A = this chain, B = another copy of it.
């Protein structure tokens, strides 16, 4: 087991209970011994659900399962296991999702059409869903509103710490809660990251409005992070709204453009970004958390492509690991992005220090000051392209020998 990331949070928030959600975690022995590897979340009747998934052309069986059930907009249970991703498992994989859902339906009394599934771990090995038999029934009977943190631990794979976040926000004068968990450490690249994330709220928001908010919010959070440019087959982000706050007077929201949703939207953005940052900070072997902002590009989309080109450049990432402010490699990454750029207009900052301007090294910058800055755990890179108004920010981590070690030994 790798040591906990030096970028891990120093404390975890207390996760308040959310009306209408109960959690339980257990050990099904999928792959790991002596740890929890399956979590169950149970939702009260009427819970609405939205989701965003990997853009991989070879998605996992649970992703196929969830996509097919999302149109109903209702959820009663979520089953997540670690240790086996049930991906590239063909008909066996589809059978395993069916079997899991059948076991979960029996254990919880929920209809299969309202059961959501996610799996993470090794790809290509058949998942023995029979291992859930008995386990899910036990979890269903012991599920409690307060056990979200244990659930977050159960879905970890190469993660070195559990990832959770929570917020309270006003919905037309009634306080509602929003809490989320995530897992992911490698195979992290946009659309989506290789990660699972589940967010829960007691706000009474209809599935259509939830989906619109989630699809938008993910662009600046989970779809703006990269650890290694590798996109998983299993990425799943689900948002569940139980509506329990209606009992306390919260209004039922059916449209994403309802103005009363504004604080909730902002809180969702912040929460997803927090979870996304936690994923990057647990990037395999990561020692530095890197924020890259590209401004002055031809469009926001161009800015994001350039920013991701920088964030995914192994040469930029290894230079940061070596605490080297090697802006020449940033120039190269801008150049290879394929977006409009002119060498003689480019300017590059590390933190507040401009190291390059108008096509050449900034004569004013002090190498010693930059070196000091590069020793910090957070590195900010700002690139001005100088050809337009497009702007975007993405987050990544450095590329260290530990990344190679973790990923050269993972399966064997």
Identify the A interface with B (CB < 8 A). Answer: 54-59, 85, 87-93, 122-126, 186-187, 189, 228-233, 312-315, 318-319, 321-324, 326-329, 331-344, 346, 356, 358-361, 399-401, 403-405, 407-412
Given A93-B360, A339-B57, A356-B88, do A319 and B124 touch, yes or no (CB 8 Å)?
Answer: no
Cα distance, A124 to B337, chains bound together (Å): 19
For the complex of A and B, the 8 pairs showing the least CB-CB separation, nearest first, are A123-B328, A322-B408, A90-B359, A56-B335, A58-B335, A90-B360, A231-B336, A318-B407
Name the residue of chain B whose CB is nearest to the CB of A320: B408
Further pairs besides A124-B327, A321-B408, A399-B404: 13, Cβ < 8 Å: A58-B334, A58-B335, A59-B343, A88-B346, A88-B359, A89-B360, A125-B361, A186-B315, A231-B332, A314-B399, A324-B408, A324-B410, A328-B411
CB distance from A159 to the nearest CB of B (A): 16
Question: Please, how many angstroms separate the alpha-carbon atoms of A123 and B348 in the complex?
Answer: 14
A91 partner residues in chain B, CB cutoff 8 A: 344, 359-360
B residues near A400, Cβ cutoff 8 Å: 404, 408
By a CB distance below 8 angstroms, the chain B residues around A233 are 331-332, 335
* Complex Cα gap A346–B324 (Å): 42
Q: Which of B341, B344, B403, B405 contacts A90 (CB 8 A)?
A: B344
Q: Which residues of B contact A312 (CB under 8 A)?
A: 229
Tell whether A58 pairs with B327 under 8 Å between CB atoms, given A89-B360, A231-B335: no
The answer to whether A228 touches B408 (Cβ under 8 A) is no
B230 touches A322 (CB 8 A): no
**Smallest Cβ distance from A229 to chain B, in angstroms?**
7
The CA of A409 and the CA of B323, in the complex, are separated in Å by: 9
* Residues of the B chain whose Cβ atoms lie less than 8 Å from the Cβ of A339: 57
Given A88-B343, A90-B344, A404-B404, residue A230 in contact with residue B314 (CB < 8 A): yes
Residue of A87, A332, A334 with most chain B CB atoms under a 10 A cut-off: A332
Find out whether the CB atom of A407 lies under 8 angstroms from the CB atom of B57: no
What are the residues of chain B within 8 A of A331 when measuring CB–CB? Answer: 58, 87-88, 123-124, 233
Assembly CA distance A57 to B386 (angstroms): 13
Q: Check if B315 sits within 8 Å of A228, measured CB to CB.
A: yes
Are the CB atoms of B228 and A314 closer together than 8 Å? yes
Are A403 and B314 in contact (CB-based, < 8 A)?
A: yes
- How far, in angstroms, from A360 to B405 measured CA to CA in the complex? 27
* Residues of chain B contacted by A59 (CB below 8 angstroms): 335, 343
The CA of A236 and the CA of B327, in the complex, are separated in Å by 22
Q: Could you tell me if B126 and A321 are in contact, using CB atoms closer than 8 angstroms?
A: no
User: Which residues on B sit within 8 Å (CB–CB) of A346?
Assistant: 58, 88
- A sample of 20 inter-chain contacts (CB < 8 A) reads A56-B336, A59-B343, A87-B331, A88-B346, A88-B356, A88-B361, A89-B359, A90-B360, A91-B359, A123-B329, A187-B315, A230-B313, A233-B331, A314-B314, A314-B399, A318-B404, A322-B408, A322-B409, A324-B408, A401-B401
Complex Cα gap A336–B55 (Å): 7
Closest residue of B by beta carbon distance from A230 = B315
Q: Is the CB of B230 within 8 A of A57?
A: no
Given contacts A90-B343, A90-B344, A335-B57, contact A405 B412 (CB under 8 A): no
Residues of B within 8 A of A399 (CB): 314, 404
Q: Which of A124, A126, A400, A411 has the most CB of B within 10 A?
A: A124
Q: CA of A336 to CA of B337 in the docked complex: distance in angstroms?
A: 17
Give A328 to B343 CA distance when docked, in angstroms.
40
